[in-house]
A and B are shown apart, each in its own frame.
Chain A
Amino acid sequence: MDQTLERRAPAEEARAPNPRRAFLRRGAALTTAAGLLGAGRAEALEPEKAAPALLPPNVPPWTRSQGGPFINPPYGLPSRHEVGVVRVLPQPAAAFPTGSRTPLQNLHGIITPSGLVYERHHAGVPDIDPNAHRLMLHGLVERPMMFTMEDLARFPSVSRIHFLECSGNSSAELKKPTGKTAQEIHGLLSCCEWTGVALSTVLQEAGIKRDAKWVLAEGADGAAMTRSVPLGKALDDALLVYAQNGEMLRPEQGYPLRLFLPGFEGNMSVKWLRRLKLGTEPFETREETAAYTDLLPDGTSLQFTFHMEAKSVITFPSGGQKLKARGFYEISGLAWTGRGKVKRVEVTLDGGKTWVEARLQEPVLSKALARFRLPWQWDGGPALIASRCIDDTGTQPGMGEVLKLRGANSNYHNNAIQYWKIDADGSVQNVRA
C-alpha cells in the first residue's frame, strides 16, 4: 500500500465559491495597521494591568536612566519577561521522558530559535568532546574512512532551512483529544537553518561500491541509535550537519555532528553521528522494527514510512489562549510537507463547511515550515477553526480519514487536521470536529 493514499481528500469544496472570501480579502487591508495586535499573543500580555506611573503622560524609569551593560551575559538571553516561552515535557512526567516540545504558539515566522528546538533522545544528551569525535564510514565502500570534525568542516559546505518533525508528533490525538496547546499537541516540530556538508560529497570520498543500496547511521550516545537510510536519499539531499541557526549544533541536537534527512521522520536524522555503514539491505534495527513502524487496524504494520506528509496547525488562536474582545485578529499558523513545497493553505472558520485560502509568507521553501496568515474579525460568537495544507501530492486529511486508513494504534505519522473551538468567552480548546 502506498502511504500517500492516506492523505487524499476531495479538493472540490476548497474550490467552491465562498461568500466569506471577499470579506476576508477586504479585511487584509487592516493587517498592517493592526500589526502589533497580530504579533503580540494576547494571552501573555496584560497591558491593562500596567501601573499608571509607567504610562503617558508619565515617562517610565527606563527612559530616564542608563540601561544595563554590554555582553551581560556574553551569550545573550531573551527578555526576562519571556521566561514562560520554554520547552515542556509531557505531563505527568514519565520515568523515561520521550521528548520536550517546542512552544509553537509563542513563535513568529518560520525559524525555531536553537534553545526552543524540540528534543527527542533515547539515552540522554551526551557531552561529546569535538576533538575526540570521529565519523567512521565503511561497509560497501572502496576506501573505509575516518573523519575528524576538522576534516568535515573543510569540505564544501551548504546551509538550508528545513523543518524537523518527530513521526510521533500528535500521536496521542489518535485515541482522543489529549493535548491542550499547540505545543503539547504539535510541538515535536521545529525549523532551523542547518549547515554542514552534503552526505553525497563525503560518500564520494570513500567511493560507493556498486551493490550498496542502504546506509546505516549510528549515534555515539548511550543508545548508539541506528536507522537505515536508502542510498538514494543519502545521495539526494542528505546533510552531515554541524551547525544550526548560525552556531554550532546544540548538545541536544547532536553536537558536534548529526545526520539530517530533509522531509523524513525526525528519528532518522541520527544525532551525535559516529558511524555510517553501507550495505545491500536495511539493517532492521530496533528503531525501524519495534518502533517507528505504523500498526494498522488489521494488526499488520507499515515499515519504512519515511516522509512526513502534508500537515498544518493554527498557532494563533490556539488551545489554551484566550481572545479578550471581539474585533480584529490575525489568524496565523504553520504548514509543512516532507514532499517538497507547501502549495496552499486553507482555513475554515465554520467547522469545515467552507475553506478560504490563507496568505503564505514568502519565500516558501522546500521541506521547511511555511507561515500562513489570515485576517479575521471575531464577532464574539463561538467558532470552530482549522487549517489544512495542500502540497503536490494532495490535501491534508481529516481525523476521520486518518483513523479509517491508519487506525488509532498507528502511533506515528498522524497528520490530521487540527480543530480549535473558540467559545463565546474567547477561550480556545482542542476538539475533534
Chain B
Amino acid sequence: MFAPKHILLAACTACTLTITPALAQQRYNLGRPATPAEIAGWDIDVKADGTGLPKGRGTVAAGAAIFAEKCAACHGAKGEGSVANKLAGGGGTLNTAGALKTVGSFWPYPTTLFDYIRRAMPHNAPQSLKSDEVYSLTAFILNVNGVIDAKAEMNQATLPKVQMPNKGGFKQVVD
C-alpha cells in the first residue's frame, strides 16, 4: 500500500467551506479520461453570465406556439398555472402573506430559465427540445412576465443581458 488513506482524510477534515487547501497527491489510477465528445453530450449547464449557452435563437412568437403545444396543459395558456407551477405574475407580492414566487417575480437570472427548460422540460420528455425551441420558450415566458418586449430575440448574446425584476433580491449566506 502506498500513502495511507487516513493521512489524506485527516488533511481534508481541516478544510472550511471557503478555503482550498494544497492537497497531497494521492492517485489510485482508477477510471479513464473523459473524451471531449462525451463531455459535450452531457455538459448542459448554463451559468449566470451565459457561459454554456448554445448557438441558436428564439422568439416570443415561436415560443408561444411551442408553449401552447407542450407546456400549457400543465402551466396554463399564459403560464398562469394549473397542475404545475405558476410561471407568471406575483410582482410586488414577495413581502406579503400571499407571496407568489414565479419566474417574473422571483427568479434572479434569465439564464437559469434556459438551463432548467433544457434539462428538465417538458415533464413528459425532458432533454427533447432543440436549442431554438428552448430559446423561444425562454423568450415567451420572459415576455408573459413583462420582462422582455414581444419583438425581442433571445440568443447567446441577448439572454444573459436580460435584467430580472428580483435580481437584487438574494443574499448569499454560504453556510
CA distance A235 to B39 in the complex (A): 23
CB of B173 within 8 A of CB of A1, answer: yes
Tell me the minimal C-beta distance from A311 to chain B in angstroms: 17
Q: Is the CB of B33 within 8 A of A210?
A: no
How far apart are the CA atoms of A202 and B21 in the complex, in Å? 16
A223 at the interface (CB under 8 A from B): yes
- The A121-157 residues at the B interface (CB cut-off 8 A) are 122-123, 136-138, 143-148, 151-152, 154-156
Asked if B83 contacts A96 (CB within 8 A), the reply is yes
From B18, B26, B106, B169, give the contact of A232 (CB < 8 A): B18
**Shortest beta-carbon distance, B28 to chain A, in Å?**
6
Across the interface, do A286 and B126 meet the contact criterion of CB distance under 8 Å?
no
Q: Which residues of A contact B25 (CB under 8 A)?
A: 204, 207
Stretch at the interface among B59-67, B107-115, B138-146, B147-155: B107-115
Q: Which residues of A contact B55 (CB under 8 A)?
A: none
Whether B169 lies near A300 (C-beta < 8 A) is yes
A18 within 8 A of B: no
8 Å CB contact of A154 from B28, B33, B48, B107: B28
What is the number of contacts between chain A and chain B, taking CB atoms within 8 Å?
Answer: 192
Is A391 in the interface zone, CB < 8 Å from B?
Answer: no
Q: How far is the CB of A344 from chain B (nearest CB, A)?
A: 23
Please name all residues of chain A whose beta carbon is closer than 8 Å to the beta carbon of B108 when the two chains form the complex. 284, 289
- The interface stretch among A35-43, A61-69, A211-219, A313-321 is A211-219
Query: B16: which A residues are within 8 A, CB to CB?
Result: 232, 236
User: A237 to B99, alpha carbons, bound, how many Å?
Assistant: 36
The contact of A198 among B9, B33, B120, by CB within 8 Å, is B9
A171: chain B residues at CB < 8 Å are none
**Distance, CA A235 to CA B173, complexed state (A):** 19
Which residues of the partner chain A approach B69 to less than 8 Å between Cβ atoms? none
In the bound complex, residues from chain A placing their C-beta under 8 Å from that of B17 are 230, 232-233
Q: A1-B171, A232-B15 are contacts. A155–B30 as well, Cβ < 8 Å?
A: yes
Interface extent on B, as a size class? Answer: 35 or more
A409: CB under 8 A from chain B? yes
Contact A304-B32, Cβ < 8 Å, known A123-B126, A136-B38 = no
Any B CB within 8 A of the CB of A95: yes
Given known contacts A156-B5, A198-B12, A200-B8, A208 and B119 CB-to-CB distance under 8 angstroms: no
Quick check: is A3 within 8 A (CB to CB) of the other chain?
Answer: yes
**Are the CB atoms of B169 and A299 closer together than 8 Å?**
yes
Q: CA separation between A334 and B126, bound complex, in Å?
A: 39
A113 contacts B by Cβ under 8 Å = no
Instruction: From known contacts A147-B31, A302-B171, A303-B172, infer whether A284 and B112 are also in contact, taking CB-CB under 8 Å.
Output: yes
Expressed in whole angstroms, the Cα–Cα distance for A307 and B94 within the complex equals: 24
Chain A residue numbers with a CB within 8 Å of B34 are 136-138, 144-146
Contact status A204-B8, CB under 8 Å: yes
- Given A200-B8, A224-B120, the answer on whether A210 and B28 have CB atoms closer than 8 Å is no
CB neighbours of A208 from chain B (8 A): 20, 23
Instruction: Find residues 227-260 in chain A having any chain B CB closer than 8 Å to their own CB.
Output: 230-233, 235-237
Contact of B116 among A205, A285, A298 (CB under 8 A): A285
Which residues on A sit within 8 Å (CB–CB) of B70? none
**Alpha-carbon distance A222/B120, docked complex (angstroms):** 6
A147 contact from B30, B101, B106, B174, Cβ within 8 A: B30
Which of B26, B43, B126, B173 lies in contact with A201, CB distance below 8 A?
B26
Alpha-carbon distance A212/B19, docked complex (angstroms): 11
Is A178 at the interface (CB under 8 A from chain B)? no
> Contact check: which of B19, B28, B47 meets A284 at CB < 8 Å?
B47
Alpha-carbon distance between A216 and B115 when the two chains are bound, in angstroms? 13
Are A301 and B170 closer than 8 Å at their CB atoms?
yes
Residues of B within 8 A of A343 (CB): none
Residue of A nearest to B17 (CB): A232
Would you call A224 and B27 a contact (CB within 8 A)?
A: no
User: With A and B bound together, what is the CA distance between A231 and B23 in angstroms?
Assistant: 12
Please tell me if A432 contacts chain B, counting CB pairs below 8 Å. no
Q: Does A4 contact B (CB under 8 A)?
A: yes
Interface residues of B (CB under 8 A from A): 5, 8-9, 12-13, 15-21, 23, 25-34, 38-39, 42-45, 47-48, 74, 83-84, 94-95, 97, 99, 101, 103, 106-109, 111-112, 115-116, 119-120, 123, 126-127, 169-175
A-side interface residues toward B, CB under 8 Å? 1-4, 95-96, 122-123, 136-138, 143-148, 151-152, 154-156, 198, 200-201, 204-205, 207-208, 210, 212-213, 216, 218, 222-226, 230-233, 235-237, 274-275, 277, 279, 281-286, 289-290, 293, 295, 297-307, 408-409
Given A123-B126, A223-B126, A286-B120, 4 more A-B residue pairs with CB atoms under 8 Å apart are: A95-B74, A201-B28, A223-B120, A283-B47
What 9 A-B pairs come out closest when comparing CB atoms?
Answer: A299-B95, A95-B83, A299-B94, A224-B119, A232-B17, A286-B116, A144-B34, A147-B31, A146-B34
29 A–B pairs (Cβ distance < 8 Å), ordered by A = A2-B175, A3-B173, A3-B175, A143-B33, A147-B30, A147-B31, A151-B31, A154-B28, A155-B30, A198-B9, A201-B8, A204-B27, A205-B29, A210-B20, A216-B45, A218-B42, A224-B120, A225-B120, A235-B15, A235-B21, A274-B42, A275-B43, A277-B45, A284-B108, A284-B109, A300-B170, A303-B173, A306-B174, A409-B99
